[in-house]
């Protein structure tokens, strides 16, 4: 996007946020702090001009309330990766780390770097993400409870009523998972039912992974190539090589979503047995002496490439067109 002159850098925490108003590059900026509640947000919005851009870091969910409030006011918002800001801070040799200093730094970041305008995730996708994560949490809880039962039952002394209560707890969690799963499938069906079926048609990719990928990428809107998706999930390689003496070991950057990488890696285990393109790739890399893990990551990227092509072309998997 084009550079703008009116910038507000916002550093957000749980209970307050600091804003740095810079409406003219040649004039001194003005800073203020606000309580992160309805009153504080209202006072801040009264100071915001419609033709400015607000820049803030992604801070879990804390930044979203203010971002949505600004979006509803039709004020441009840019939400940047905290790691990018941290690296920028090092590049400009910033030595001060306070909330006010961070707000000023965000203004400088917006002036020097290329930034993009944020758009909120559609409501249904937020609900889908929440349902998916809740199901994952309940499944982990079941596994933890089963492990606890296993540990107790191997003890020479234990209360049998405790085992009964823990098993009852597992059944309750399973019922909740079933209920949440129905809600999830209903929402997915409303949004991208066909895309789920198409992705699930790829050998080695199950419905769970299909739902997770579409949830994480919003049907891959905004991605122009599968390489961008690979980078988004942290599966792209990072090369460390310089001159004649520095030849570091290449590895994936791991700067994306770890839970998605884990799902894709698990899918690649199935894919090297039933997905022809993945089988050929895995065997070719192993014949060249590549470690198993390196070959598996390559297979995960191959799966991601197939998924991207299927979503963009809106068609089911066919071995004839497998890439």
Which domains are present in the chain?
7-112 (3.30.420.40), 123-199 (1.20.120), 212-321 (no CATH)
Burial category of 170 from C-beta neighbours within 10 Å (exposed 0-12, middle 13-18, buried 19 and up): middle
CB 188 within 8 A of CB 218: no
Rg of the chain's alpha carbons, rounded to an integer?
A: 24
What pTM, to 2 d.p., does this model score? 0.70
Question: What confidence tier does 239 reach under pLDDT thresholds 50, 70, 90?
Answer: very low
3-state secondary structure of 141: helix
Compare 209 and 174 and report the one with higher pLDDT: 174
Tokens of 209: 């992974």
**pLDDT for residue 246:** 42
User: In the predicted model, is pLDDT for residue 247 greater than 60?
Assistant: no
pLDDT tens column, 251-281 = 555 565 677 788 888 899 999 999 999 999 9
Question: What confidence tier does 240 reach under pLDDT thresholds 50, 70, 90?
Answer: very low
- Return all residues near 318 (Cβ < 8 A) that are at least 6 apart: none
Q: For residue 251, give the H/E element and its range.
A: strand 251-252
pLDDT tens column, 10-36 = 999 989 999 999 987 777 889 999 999
**pLDDT for residue 218:** 64
CA distance 197 to 184: 15
**pLDDT for residue 238:** 53
CB 149 within 8 A of CB 117: no
Tokens of 283: 């065997």
Closest CA to 219 of 322, 125, 136, 81: 125
Query: What is the mean pLDDT of the segment spanning 218-246?
Result: 65
- Return all residues near 225 (Cβ < 8 A) that are at least 6 apart: 308
**pLDDT for residue 254:** 54
Compare 199 and 246 and report the one with higher pLDDT: 199
DSSP for 40-96?
HHHHHHHH--TT-EEEEE--TTTTHHHHHHHHHTT-EEEEE-HHHHHHHHHHTT---
CA distance 61 to 75: 19
**pLDDT for residue 241:** 47
User: In the predicted model, is pLDDT for residue 222 greater than 90?
Assistant: no
Least confident of 55-69, 148-162, 206-220: 206-220
The mean pLDDT value of the chain amounts to 84
CB 12 within 8 A of CB 79: no
């Amino acid at each position: 996007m084009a550079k703008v002159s009116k910038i507000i850098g916002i550093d957000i925490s749980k209970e307050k946020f600091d804003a740095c108003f810079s409406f003219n590059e040649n004039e001194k900026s003005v800073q203020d702090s606000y309580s992160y509640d309805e009153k504080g947000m209202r006072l801040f919005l009264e100071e915001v001009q419609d033709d400015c851009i607000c820049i803030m870091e992604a801070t879990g969910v804390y930044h979203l309330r203010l971002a949505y409030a600004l979006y509803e006011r039709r004020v441009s918002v840019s939400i940047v990766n905290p790691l990018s800001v941290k690296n920028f801070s090092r590049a400009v040799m910033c030595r001060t780390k306070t909330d006010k200093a961070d707000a000023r730094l965000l203004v400088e970041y917006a002036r020097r770097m290329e930034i993009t305008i944020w758009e909120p995730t559609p409501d249904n996708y937020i609900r889908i993400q929440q349902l998916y994560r809740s199901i994952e949490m309940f499944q982990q809880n079941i596994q933890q409870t089963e492990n606890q039962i296993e540990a107790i039952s191997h003890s020479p002394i234990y209360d049998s009523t405790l085992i009964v209560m823990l098993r009852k707890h597992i059944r309750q969690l399973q019922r909740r998972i079933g209920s949440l799963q129905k809600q999830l499938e209903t929402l997915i069906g409303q949004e991208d039912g066909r895309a789920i079926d198409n992705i699930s048609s790829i050998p080695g990719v199950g419905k769970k992974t299909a739902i997770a990928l579409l949830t994480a990428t919003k049907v891959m809107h905004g991605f122009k190539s599968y390489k961008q998706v690979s980078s988004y999930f942290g599966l792209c390689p990072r090369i460390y090589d310089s001159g004649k003496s520095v030849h570091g070991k290449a590895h994936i950057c791991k700067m994306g979503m770890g839970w998605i990488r884990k799902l894709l890696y698990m899918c690649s285990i199935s894919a090297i047995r039933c997905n022809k393109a993945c089988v050929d790739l895995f065997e070719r890399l192993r014949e060249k002496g590549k470690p198993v893990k390196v070959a598996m990551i390559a297979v995960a990227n191959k799966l991601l490439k197939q998924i991207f092509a299927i979503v963009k072309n809106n068609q089911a998997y066919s071995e004839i067109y497998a890439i």
